[in-house]
């Protein structure tokens, strides 16, 4: 058995975030568990064999431990997702309304990289550098 790390995120409007992440970044819905009042209790989105989990923010318990980017004045953590074509992925995200905060560029340590914010200001990093292959 291998150990996997799966980023978990909370969104004020999780249903809209799920749709946007699929459209903008190419995630696919693996599991979506509706909560009360149109919220999302739990969801799993996949991309090229990787996964993120997300749900609706502010439901108490675990969510009381998480601060949203708007409350923190910016993101405190950010997923890094490996993509084959950084420029094409960035163009797709830009077309869906992502705020590109770092334009695609070659990196000194290898690969190409860009960073963007989604509609709720979560920071996402995408690059071709795969540290497992170096």
- Given strand 80-82, what is the order of strands in its sheet? 80-82, 123-127, 112-117, 99-106
117 pairs with which residues across the strands? 99, 123
Question: The whole model's pTM is what?
Answer: 0.91
- Report the candidate in 133, 118, 101 with the shortest Cα–Cα distance to residue 25: 118
DSSP 116: E
What is the predicted pLDDT for the residue at 11? 95
Q: How far is CA 2 from CA 5, 81, 82, 116, in A?
A: 10, 19, 19, 30
28 pairs with which residues across the strands? 46
Dig out the tokens for 18 from the structure.
Answer: 């799920």
Q: What pLDDT band is residue 83 in, cutting at 50, 70 and 90?
A: very high
Query: What would the pLDDT profile of 87-131 be if each residue is shown by its tens digit?
Result: 999 999 999 999 999 999 999 999 999 999 999 999 999 999 999
Rg (CA), the chain: 15
Q: What pLDDT band is residue 1 in, cutting at 50, 70 and 90?
A: low
- Looking at per-residue pLDDT, the higher value among 125 and 133 belongs to 125
């Amino acid at each position: 058995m291998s150990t996997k790390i799966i980023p978990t995120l909370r969104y004020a409007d999780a249903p809209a975030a799920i749709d946007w992440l699929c459209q903008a970044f190419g995630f696919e819905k693996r599991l979506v568990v509706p909560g009360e009042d149109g919220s999302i209790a739990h969801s799993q989105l996949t991309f090229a064999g990787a996964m993120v989990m997300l749900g609706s923010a502010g439901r108490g318990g675990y969510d009381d431990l998480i601060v949203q980017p708007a409350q923190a004045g910016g993101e405190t953590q950010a997923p890094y997702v490996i993509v084959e074509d950084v420029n094409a992925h960035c163009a797709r995200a830009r077309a869906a309304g992502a705020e590109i905060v770092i334009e695609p560029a070659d990196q000194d340590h290898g690969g190409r990289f860009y960073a963007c914010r989604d509609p709720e200001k979560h920071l996402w990093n995408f690059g071709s550098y795969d540290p497992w292959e170096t």
